[in-house]
Structure 1
Amino acid sequence: MLYDRQNKTIKTNRLLLRLFDKSDAEAVTNLCNNYNIFINTLYLPYPYTLHHALTWIEHHYDNFIAGKAYEFAVTDKETGEIYGAVALSHNHSFHQGEIGYWIGEAYWGNGFATEAAQAIVQFAFEEKNYHKVFARYFASNPASGRVLQKIGMQQEGVLRDHVMKENRFEDLVYYGILKNEMEAIT
């Protein structure tokens, strides 16, 4: 992972994580207006419109500058094609934050979520000096759990029937990693 402070980008082997721009809204809409992404995310609306994308992107830069949240487009390092998004919240009081990610269905199974999640966790520890990073996913989406396992996170608990999605209750599975644990695996 290589973080460029000036351009606010993160480079990995295959990816460039960069801030979203309003010009990305159409691509985001095309990727997110997908029931299979909606069903596996906590807050994504469906159907997903251009207005949703523009509203979502609108405050990314200000949140980044203020240190509230870091939301990156997951793009191909060579072509710039948008594959999805990865984000990191920042709880200043507790020196920790939550990661979240989604990848467009056409790009599933290529390891992009794992590569982006690994990079954002490194960013949290190396650049922002977090003590802990955590994530949560629906138990009905084990692929998301495999991403977290691959980046060294450990399961910390399950909140049973914690949220309702599509008229059914979902368990939320929590994973976390501490800075010293990350240092031990890198």
Structure 2
Amino acid sequence: MHHAGTQPIRTKRLILRRFTPADAAAAYHNWQTDPQVSKYLTWPPYTDFAQAQERIAWVADQYAQPNFYYWAIQLADQSAAVIGNIAVVRADENIRSLAIGYVSGQVWWGHGYMPETLRAVIDFLFTNTDVQRIEATHDVRNPNSGKVMAKAGMRKEGVLRQRGRNNTGVCDEAMYAILRSDWTKKAAPSHGLSGSAS
């Protein structure tokens, strides 16, 4: 599978970029310590700033790998706040499939930032790699995450019963996906995406 690595992406309101060690404090305070944010995720809320520093340092080290995709989500306005992250969390090279996960702080929920982010990453991956399928899942008790996926152009394919485990225990997962053939049928991106690996 052809890979492009984590390259900068810009949308109308956001900058998606690589994390740096300087982002650890924002990540820790804006989402990593919030139990509501991590409720349906697989990692517990952080309790020590050193955890954030170690995580960001690990992420920064991985950028040398061309198949590593992990973006900081930063507001493009004057606040320039880092509000979350989006990443490829799983890959199947045999069928050229990538799975995406994302998170943001509560303060920024409900403003359309995550659908904008997810659309931009989908466009980037289909433009700069030869991926054929991009998928994402969410706990069925967290329907707002499904709304994000649908707004980004992904299609609900079904519910996988007792398929996942997160901080609430074993859960049913809703599966969403978009195929390259679905994406090519859509109009050209209109969110002002810039940046590529070419």
Q: TM-score, normalised by structure 1?
A: 0.88
Q: What is the CA–CA distance in structure 1 between the aligned matches of 2:24 and 2:84, rounded to whole Å?
A: 12
Q: Percent identity?
A: 26
Residues 157/110 of structure 1: CA separation in 2 closer, same or farther (3 Å cut): same
Correspondences of 1:28-67 after superposition (within 5 Å): 28-30=27-29, 31-41=31-41, 43-67=42-66
Q: What is the CA–CA distance in structure 2 between the aligned matches of 1:170 and 1:16, rounded to whole Å?
A: 33
Q: What is the CA–CA distance in structure 2 between the aligned matches of 1:73 and 1:156, rounded to whole Å?
A: 28
Correspondences of 1:116-155 after superposition (within 5 Å): 116-155=117-156
3-state SS of 2:69 partner: strand
Pairwise CA distance, 1:167: 5.3
Q: What is the CA–CA distance in structure 2 between the aligned matches of 1:176 and 1:111, rounded to whole Å?
A: 19
Q: What is the CA–CA distance in structure 1 between the aligned matches of 2:47 and 2:173, rounded to whole Å?
A: 23
Specify the code of the residue in structure 2 equivalent to 1:81: A
Residues 158/85 of structure 1: CA separation in 2 closer, same or farther (3 Å cut): same
Pairwise CA distance, 1:177: 0.6
What do residues 103-145 of structure 1 show as CA deviations (whole Å, max 9, x unaligned)?
A: 1001100001100000111111001221110001110110000
Q: Tell me which residue corresponds to 1:16.
A: 15
Pairing 1:72–2:71 present: yes
Which stretch has the larger CA shift, 105-114 or 49-58? Answer: 49-58
3-state SS of 1:85 partner: strand
3-state SS of 2:64 partner: helix
Whose RCO is larger (CA < 8 A, sep 6+)? Answer: 2
Q: Is the contact between residue 159 and residue 172 of structure 2 (CA under 8 Å) also seen in structure 1?
A: yes
Residues 164/59 of structure 1: CA separation in 2 closer, same or farther (3 Å cut): closer
Q: What is the CA–CA distance in structure 2 between the aligned matches of 1:165 and 1:62, rounded to whole Å?
A: 26
Q: What is the CA–CA distance in structure 2 between the aligned matches of 1:48 and 1:85, rounded to whole Å?
A: 19
Pairwise CA distance, 1:148: 0.6
Q: Which runs of 4+ in 1 moved over 6 A?
A: none
What is the number of equivalent residue pairs in this alignment? 181
Q: Is the contact between residue 15 and residue 73 of structure 2 (CA under 8 Å) also seen in structure 1?
A: yes
Q: What is the CA–CA distance in structure 1 between the aligned matches of 2:39 and 2:52, rounded to whole Å?
A: 18
Residues 92/54 of structure 1: CA separation in 2 closer, same or farther (3 Å cut): farther
Task: List alignment gaps of at least 5 residues for structure 2.
Answer: 188-198
Correspondences of 1:164-175 after superposition (within 5 Å): 164-166=165-167, 168-175=169-176
Residues 101/167 of structure 1: CA separation in 2 closer, same or farther (3 Å cut): closer
Q: What is the CA–CA distance in structure 1 between the aligned matches of 2:129 and 2:47, rounded to whole Å?
A: 32
Q: Is the contact between residue 159 and residue 174 of structure 2 (CA under 8 Å) also seen in structure 1?
A: yes
Cα RMSD (Å) of the superposition?
2.1
Specify the code of the residue in structure 1 equivalent to 2:127: E
Pairwise CA distance, 1:101: 0.7
Residues 151/65 of structure 1: CA separation in 2 closer, same or farther (3 Å cut): same
Q: TM-score, normalised by structure 2?
A: 0.83
3-state SS of 1:59 partner: helix
Q: Tell me which residue corresponds to 1:110.
A: 111
Pairwise CA distance, 1:168: 4.1
